[in-house]
Amino acid sequence: MKNRTIEVCLSPLLSGCHDFSGKCVVIIDVLRASSAIITGLFHGVSAFRPVAEPDDAVFWAQKGYIPAAERGGQVAEGFSLGNSPFSYREGQWAGQKIALTTTNGTRALLLSLAAERILIGGFLNQKAVVRQLVQFNGDVVLFCAGWKGQLSLEDTLCAGGFLALLTEYFQLTGDPAVVALDLHKQRENGLETAVQSSSHFLRLAAKGLADEIAFCLKSDLYDMVPLLVDGELVAGS
Amino acid sequence: MKNRTIEVCLSPLLSGCHDFSGKCVVIIDVLRASSAIITGLFHGVSAFRPVAEPDDAVFWAQKGYIPAAERGGQVAEGFSLGNSPFSYREGQWAGQKIALTTTNGTRALLLSLAAERILIGGFLNQKAVVRQLVQFNGDVVLFCAGWKGQLSLEDTLCAGGFLALLTEYFQLTGDPAVVALDLHKQRENGLETAVQSSSHFLRLAAKGLADEIAFCLKSDLYDMVPLLVDGELVAGS
């Protein structure tokens, strides 16, 4: 009998159905907060401070942080930096700290602060996250950020991919985990096609971001896991 | 281009992500409110009045209704009738009106009152519901009742089954619809096995209700659709 459990929270609106305390939570916001944070930290950003609102990012800018804000899939008004992974993959912000607010990902993170440990996961660092979860001595929640409260196909697919790699070590718990794993099995050989039927893809593709989406779906480009330490996400391994 | 849309609300907690007004909503609570209401109306119950709380059922009892209440998968304390379909399939309540409150199903129904039309659907009457939806001149929401806010495998699977029969007529809208249809495709040849991995199955089976679950999963036993008219569910066709 596996004595550790893994469950899936499919949307911030469902967070009340989960108890995060003492657990390791993996925030999954494939398009695009997870992917931007993984990419940025790998390419030298010192830390991302997740904040709830654009005004909070401005507040931290006074303390030396680079402010970054995304709303509705675009750089928020009045900001020059958002959550595009392409904005972070050239080492532009190496050595800097960034205060970041996004529509969905930071919301999920701020809802799970009762957790023992909070990691950021995506397709880009899936195997690195799996390695950390296997070593974690406790239960796990995969927390899909979704889109404005609604569950999203790409985050659910990513959670299912994690589950497929973790069933050997954890007891799957709750119906959302069964749904996510089934979805992954149904689509694992056609991930890009699957995501092309998602509503988020259509929103972002309409803004000319199809290349970015393809980037966010790449598997294991980075062997690094963002970890929340003292309110900031830093490169964990 | 199909000009009518169909979407899936996977839990009452996600109802804020959907606009029900002007649409036809199908409430799906396979285990067991949908199944009990379909069975009861087919076997002669005049009407089910969905009410929020056990106290409301007691209130309506003073007006001649038979009070029925389920909480946590059992007949609620102080009541002699709950939401077991087996309590309704012998014509015991023919000609009577029943005031019913359940953990999940009536909650979903009361959240969707802005709809133009509200139907009750389950495996037991799937084809009859499909026939009505094809004739409905507007958009459709399949509203899964879930379990205490969490989405449930059996309701999601049932919604996916509806979608498979309706893609010819409606434009699937939103990621939850993609997830539900994929789940159905993955599991359509092993519905009972799939539901046996659901948390709700384990809860009810522990109470000796495995036979009832098997009954609720039967396809198209009844050619009848419960329809909400003036606050009561009546046999619609």
Virtual CA dihedral for A86, A89, A93, A94, nearest 10 degrees?
170
CB contact (8 A) between residue B148 and residue A200 = no
Q: B11, B17, B175: which to substitute to probe chain A, counting the most A Cβ within 10 Å?
A: B175
DSSP assigned state of B226: E
> Which among B8, B48, B7, B12 has a CA at the least distance from the CA of B147?
B12
Predicted confidence (pLDDT) at residue A72 exceeds the cutoff of 90: no
- Residues pairing with A48 in the sheet: A98, A233
DSSP assigned state of B43: T
Chain A to chain B Cβ contacts (< 8 Å): 85
pLDDT tens across A10-38, in order? 999 999 999 999 999 999 999 999 999 99
Residue appearing with tokens 């799970």: A112
Q: What is the spatial distance between Cα A39 and Cα A33, in angstroms, rounded to a whole number?
A: 10
The average confidence (pLDDT) of chain A is 94
- Residues pairing with B226 in the sheet: B235
pLDDT band per the 50, 70, 90 thresholds, residue A218: very high
> pLDDT value at position A4?
97
pLDDT tens across A168-177, in order? 999 999 999 9
How far does B205 lie from chain A, in Å, by closest CA? 16
Predicted confidence (pLDDT) at residue A155 exceeds the cutoff of 80: yes
> Which among B40, B219, B51, B204 has a CA at the least distance from the CA of B122?
B219
Backbone angles phi, psi at B48, to 5 degrees: -110, 125
Q: What is the spatial distance between Cα A10 and Cα A224, in angstroms, rounded to a whole number?
A: 24
B101 touches chain A (CB under 8 A): no
Predicted confidence (pLDDT) at residue A154 exceeds the cutoff of 80: yes
Q: Higher confidence at residue A194 or residue A127?
A: A127
Q: Which helix (H) or strand (E) holds B122?
A: none
For each of chain B's 237 residues, which pLDDT tens digit applies? 689 999 999 999 999 999 999 999 999 999 999 999 999 999 999 999 999 999 999 999 999 999 999 998 889 999 999 999 999 999 999 999 999 999 888 889 999 999 999 999 999 999 999 999 999 999 999 999 999 899 999 999 999 999 999 999 999 999 999 999 999 998 888 888 888 878 878 888 888 888 999 999 999 999 999 999 999 999 986
CB contact (8 A) between residue A198 and residue B182 = no
B6 touches chain A (CB under 8 A): no
Chain B residue closest in CA terms to A15 = B150
> pLDDT value at position B1?
64
pLDDT band per the 50, 70, 90 thresholds, residue A103: confident
CB contact (8 A) between residue A150 and residue B174 = yes
CB contact (8 A) between residue B179 and residue A153 = yes
Backbone angles phi, psi at B147, to 5 degrees: -135, 110
DSSP assigned state of B150: B
> pLDDT value at position B104?
87
pLDDT band per the 50, 70, 90 thresholds, residue A199: confident
A157 touches chain B (CB under 8 A): no
A174 touches chain B (CB under 8 A): yes
> pLDDT value at position B237?
66
Predicted confidence (pLDDT) at residue A112 exceeds the cutoff of 90: yes
Q: How many CA atoms does the CB half-sphere of A57 hold within 13 Å?
A: 26
How far does A203 lie from chain B, in Å, by closest CA? 12
Which range of residues forms the domain containing residue B121? 5-234
pLDDT band per the 50, 70, 90 thresholds, residue A1: low
DSSP assigned state of B5: E
Are B102 and B29 within 8 A, CB to CB? yes
B237 SS3 class: coil
Q: Higher confidence at residue B195 or residue A93?
A: A93
CB contact (8 A) between residue A178 and residue B197 = yes
Name chain B contacts of A147, Cβ cutoff 8 Å.
175
Q: What is the spatial distance between Cα B37 and Cα B50, in angstroms, rounded to a whole number?
A: 10
Q: What DSSP line would sit under A145-174, residue for residue? A: --BTTB--HHHHHHHHHHHHHHTTTSEE-S
Q: What is the CATH number of the domain that holds B57?
A: 3.90.1560.10
Q: What is the spatial distance between Cα A15 and Cα A8, in angstroms, rounded to a whole number?
A: 10
Residue A50 corresponds to which tokens in the numbers above?
Answer: 């997740």
Predicted confidence (pLDDT) at residue A66 exceeds the cutoff of 90: yes
pLDDT band per the 50, 70, 90 thresholds, residue A237: low
pTM of the model: 0.94
Are A100 and A78 within 8 A, CB to CB? no
CB contact (8 A) between residue B176 and residue A150 = yes
- For chain A, the domain total comes to 1
Residue A74 corresponds to which tokens in the numbers above?
Answer: 């675009």
> pLDDT value at position A205?
84
